[in-house]
A and B are shown apart, each in its own frame.
Chain A
Amino acid sequence: MRVVIVGAGEVGSNVAASLAGNHEVIVIDIDSDRVEALTYSLDVLAVEGDGASLETLQEAGVEAADMVIACTDNDETNIVTCGTVQTISEAFTIARVRNTTYLETWEHAEGALGVDLMVGTNLMAARSIVRVIGLPGAEDVDQFADGLIRMAEFRIDEDSPVTGMSVEEADTYDSLTFAAVIRDGEVIIPSGETCLLDGDDLVVIGSLESVSEFARSLAPEVDDIAEVLIVGGNEIAYETAEILASKGLTPRLVEPDPERARHLAERLPGVTVLQNDPTDRAFLEREHIDEVDVAVASLDSDEQNLLSALLAKRLGADRSIAVVEDGDYSDLFEAVGVDVAINPRETIAEEITRFTREQHAENVALIEHDRAEVLEIEIDRDSVLVDRPIRDSIHELPDGVVIGAISRDGTFVVPRGDTVVEDGDHIVVFAAQEIVEETMKRL
C-alpha cells in the first residue's frame, strides 16, 4: 500500500525503514537535510515541507494514500496533520502523541480529531518497562495471541546456567522454542547442537509459564519482584508507576522538583513519592537501594539516566533499566552495565510498524533494531501450512523461519514436526528481516 509518513525523526525513519521493503513509502519532513539524507539512504520518496499544510500533503499524494502516519516530535502537529488528511483523503491516520491527556480524550471518543489510531509514546515506553520488570533477565518482551504466547530476548552471560550448553541440553521446557541466537549482530537459527556462548542474545517464544520459568532459571537469585525504585518523575516515570501500582506493587518514585513531586503524589495514591536529588548517594542508601529489585531511571536526559542506572547498580540494586531517548545509545548503555535500555522511539516505531503490516499479521516485534521480526499470523485457507503436518510444509517456507508457538481457540499448542496446523490458528514465527516478506506471502 501507499504510506505517507510525516516527520523523519528517529520514529519516522525507523518506520520508513521497516516499511520501505514492501510498501510505497513517502516521507514528509520540514528539514531539508533530513529529506536529502533519506532520499539517498532509503528507497522512499522524501518530500520537503510542513506536514500540517494541505499543499505539502497534496504534493505527497495523500489523496491516493492508504495510510498516513504522523510521527513528528510535536503532538499538536501530529493531530492537526491527521485532521487535515481526513478532509482530503480516505487514508487511515495514525498519530503519535506523548501527552497522555490527548490519548485519554481520543480513547473516550474513538476517531475523534481525525485520528484513526493514536499511539502514546510515554504509555508505550512505560508498558515496555513494566514488561521487562516482570521478566527478570529479559531485555525485550512482547506478547502475542492476547497474552497467551510470549516472546522474550535474554542476554546470556558467564553466570547464566545455560552458558556452554547446547540448545538441546538447555531446552528442557515442553512449551518453549529457542527461536534464534544473536551473536555479534548476526542472527543464527539454532539447531539442537548449537552451543550457547557468553554474550549471546537468545530469543525464545513460548507459553507464559515456560518463558517465566526459563527467565527464573537464568537468574535464580531473583525472587518475585517486589521492590521497584523509579528515579525521575517525567511522564514515562509517572505512567510506569501507575501501571505498577495497578498491578499491586508499591513502587517508590524519586523526583527532585518539589512542585512536580507534590503533583505526582496527588495523582499516584499507591506510590511513595520522594522528593530529593536522585543522584544523592546518602539519600539512596537511606532508602535501602541495595534491597531494590529493579531501579528504573527516567530523568530528563540520557546522560542522567545512564549515571543514575549505573549508580543504582553500584549501590546494590539487582537490575537497572534506563530510558534512552537517543536510539544510537541503546547498545552503549547495555555495554557499560545497564541491564536494559528502553528507547521510547523504538518502542513506538515498533508499535506503528505492527499496525501497518499486511492485514493478516496481527502483531510484530522487532529484534535487534529490525534485524529480524517475530510475527503473529492468523492462518487461513491460502496458507502453505494449513491442514498439513509442519514437517511437510516447512520446506515451502524460506530457510531460517522458526515456528515458535501456536494458539488454537485460546489454548496453547506446542509446534512439533507432526503438528497439523488448522484454519484459524494463530502462529507466532521468527524470521530474519530478509525473509519476512517472503514468509508473509506464504503463510
Chain B
Amino acid sequence: MGFATGPETCLRVDWRASLSLVGSVLKYLSVPLLFPLLVGLRYGEGIVPFVATIAVVFAVGAGLERLDPDPDLGAREGFLMVALTWLSVAVVGTFPYLIAGTGTLAQPVNALFESMSGFTTTGATVMGSIGTDKYSHSILLWRQLTQWLGGMGIVVLAVAILPELSVGGAQLMDAEAPGPGIEKLTPRIRTTARALWLAYLGFTVLEFALLYGLHLAGYAPNMDLYNAVSHPLTTMPTGGFSPEARSIEAFSAAVQWVIIPFMIAAGTNFALFWKALKGDFRVFGRDSEFRFYAGVIGALTAVLAGLLFAGAGVIDQTTDVAPMIGEVENSLRHGAFQTVSIVTTTGYASIDFNFWESPAKYLLVFAMFIGGSAGSTGGAIKIVRWLVILKSIKRELFTTVHPEAVRPVRLGGRALDERALRGIYAFTLLYLVAFFVGVALLVIDSWAAGYVELALIDAVSAVAATLGNVGPGLGEVGPMGNYLSFPVFSKLLMIFLMWVGRLEILPVFVLLTRAYWQS
C-alpha cells in the first residue's frame, strides 16, 4: 500500500511544524479575548490586561507561525503540537490574571494553576474569595471562558478553522478528543469539527436562554444577565468554575434542576447529538455507551438520594446543609445534581457535600473515576473504557471455565480489535498509576512543607479531582474550599496532572520517551 505517510518517515521530529501550528492557534486566541474586553468596557473596568494579552498572543503567534510557513504534520508532530498547544494556551491564560494582579492570582504559580484548571475544564480553584466584589467582571468572565474554550477542545476548534489541518486533523483530534479513537461524522474532518463545535455552541446558547428566562420569570432571583452568561460557559465544557463563591448553591432549586440535564448532555458523546439532529433519535437507545452512562447516573442518583433521604448521608448538627431527611424533592435534587456533577466531571456544587456522612461522601470520590462519555467534554477514565473493561473481565471469567472459547469483546454489536482493547487497558492502568504516584507525591510534599491540615482523604480526592478534571474534592479542597494552601511543588504537580488528564495521558507521556525523539 502506498499511503502518503508524510514526515513520519523522516527520523527527526519536525518541531518547527508543530510550533508553527501552535503559533496559529495562539494568534486566533486573540479573538475570544475580545469578549472579556467588551465585558470590561460595559462594567467600566480596566481593560489593560486584555489589550496587553491580545497584543502579546498575536505577536508571539504570528512569530511562531513564521517558523514553518507550510507545516506538514505526521503522527509525531501531532502529539507535540497538541501537548504544546495546551501548555502554551494555559500560559497565555495567566496573562490577564497577572496583569490585573488581583488577590491570590497575582502570583505566577497560582495564576498558572487557575488557567490550567480553566482550559482543562477541571474547575479546581486557588482563589481565596470569589466574587465580583473583589475581582473584576471581565477577569471572572475570562476564567469562565477558558473552560468553554477548552471544553470541546482548542485543537478541534483549530481544525474547524484552519484549512491547513484538513489532512493531519484527524490525528490531532484523536490526540485531543476524550475517549479511544475519533469518529468522523462527515467526509471532511473540518466539517466534523465544525459540527461538534456548533452543537456545543447550540447547547450553550440554549442553556443561557433557559437560565435567563427563569430569571425574567422570577424563579431565579440571583441569575442576572452576568450569571446567565457565565454559567453555561462552564456547564457545557463540564468545567465547574462559577463567579459565585457558593457555586450553584447560590441559586434557586429551579436553576439547579435546569442545569442537571445540561451537565448530562455535556457528558454525552456529541456525535450522538449530531446524528439525532439528522433525524435519527433512536441513536441514544442504540448506543451502548450512552445506555451504560444513563444507567450509572440513574443508579448512583438512586443510592445517593436514598442515603440523603434516610439521613444516612447527613451530619444533622450542621446548619450548613439544607434539611433533607424525609424531604423527597430536596434529597432527590441534591442526589441527582451531585451525582451528575461528579460523574460528568463538572464539579458544580448545589450544596456543601463536605458535611455529608462518609457513605455519601466517599461515593462521590469513587464517582470521580468514572468520567463522561468518549467524544464528550467530560474527563476521567470515560464510560466506554469501563464498559469495555467490565466486558473483558466477563470474558476472562468465561474463558477460565471454557479455555477453548474464542470470544471477541463486543461493543454495540461490533467486535473490538484486540489492539484497541490493549490501548484501553494501557490507558486505564496508566491513569491509576498516575493517581497513586500523584497521591504519594502530594502527601510527601505537603508533609515536608508543614501543611498539616491535609488529611489523607483530602489528598486522595485532590489528586482524583485534578487528574480527572473534576475540580472540587473533599475536606480542604471541598466544594466551598480551594487549593490555595498547597505548597508550590504540589500545585505544580497538580497543574501537570490536569494537563495529562485532559489529554488522556498518552500524548504527553509519549513525549517523555526516548523512542519519540530518536528513531
Interface of A (DSSP majority class): helix
Q: Does A17 contact B (CB under 8 A)?
A: yes
Answer whether residue A311 sits at the interface, using C-beta atoms and an 8 A cutoff.
no
A328 within 8 A of partner (CB): yes
Are A327 and B2 within 8 A (Cβ)? yes
A25 at the interface (CB under 8 A from B): yes
Q: Is the CB of A40 within 8 A of B170?
A: yes
1/0 per residue, CB under 8 A from B, across A256-284: the answer is 00000000000000000000000000000
Report the minimum CB–CB distance from B166 to chain A (whole Å): 5
> Which chain B residues border A40 with CB–CB below 8 Å?
75, 170-171, 174
Residue of B whose beta carbon sits closest to that of A32: B417
Write the nearest CB–CB distance from B4 to chain A, whole angstroms: 6
> Chain A's nearest CB lies how many Å from the CB of B248?
40
Structural contact, A13 and B3, CB atoms closer than 8 A: yes
B 177-194 to A, binary, CB cutoff 8 A, 1 in contact else 0: 000000011111110000
The interface bits of chain A over 34-58 (1 if a CB of B lies within 8 angstroms of the residue's CB, else 0) are 1001111111111000000000000
> Interface extent on B, as a size class?
20 to 34
Contact with A43, one of B1, B6, B169, B174 (Cβ below 8 angstroms): B169
Chain A 15-35: CB-based contact to B (< 8 A → 1; otherwise 0): 001000000111000001010
A278–B1 Cα distance when bound, in Å, is 29
Instruction: Note all chain B residues with C-beta closer than 8 A to A318.
Output: none
Whether A45 and B4, one on each chain, are in contact in the complex, defined by CB atoms closer than 8 angstroms, is no
Does B186 contact A45, Cβ atoms closer than 8 Å? yes
Q: Does B5 contact A (CB under 8 A)?
A: yes
Q: A41 to B186, Cβ gap below 8 A? A: no
Among B166, B174, B188, B417, the one with the most A-chain Cβ atoms within 10 Å of its Cβ is: B188
Give the number of residue pairs across the A-B interface with Cβ within 8 Å.
48
Min CB gap A132→B, angstroms: 21
Contact B2 A37 (CB under 8 A): no
Residues of B within 8 A of A34 (CB): 1
> Which chain A positions have C-beta within 8 A of B3?
13, 37-38, 41
| B187 with A10: CB separation less than 8 A | no
Kindly state whether residue B457 has any CB partner on chain A within 8 Å. no
**What residues of chain B lie closer than 8 Å to A39, measured between beta carbons?**
170, 184
Check if B296 is an interface residue, CB within 8 A of chain A. no
Instruction: Tell whether, in the assembled complex, residue A45 and residue B1 are in contact, meaning their CB atoms are under 8 Å apart.
Output: no
Decide if A357 is an interface residue (CB 8 Å cutoff). Answer: no
- Tell whether B167 is near chain A: CB-to-CB under 8 Å: yes
Nearest residue (CB) in A for B414 is A48
CB distance from B337 to the nearest CB of A (A): 39
Closest partner residue, chain A, to B165 (CB atom): A43
Whether the pair A41, B188 counts as a contact (CB closer than 8 A) is no
CA separation between A327 and B190, bound complex, in Å? 30
- Contact partners of B190 in chain A: CB under 8 A: 43
Q: Does A131 sit within 8 A of B, measured CB to CB?
A: no
From B2, B167, B185, B186, contact of A42 by CB (8 A)? B167
Q: Which of A322-338 contact B (CB under 8 A)?
A: 327-328
Which residue of A has the minimal Cβ distance to B185?
Answer: A45
* Residues of chain A within 8 A of B167, CB atoms compared: 41-43
Q: Mark B193-233, 1 if CB is under 8 A from A, else 0.
A: 00000000000000000000000000000000000000000
Complex A-B, nearest 9 residue pairs according to Cβ-Cβ distance, in ascending order: A24-B187, A45-B187, A43-B166, A41-B3, A45-B184, A328-B2, A327-B2, A40-B170, A40-B171
In addition to A13-B2, A40-B170, A41-B167, 8 A-B residue pairs with Cβ atoms within 8 Å of each other are A24-B186, A38-B3, A39-B170, A40-B174, A43-B166, A43-B190, A45-B184, A45-B187
A-B contact pairs, 26 of them (CB 8 A): A9-B1, A14-B2, A24-B187, A26-B187, A32-B417, A34-B1, A37-B1, A39-B184, A40-B75, A40-B170, A40-B171, A40-B174, A41-B4, A41-B6, A41-B167, A43-B169, A43-B170, A43-B187, A43-B188, A43-B189, A43-B190, A45-B184, A45-B185, A45-B186, A45-B187, A45-B188
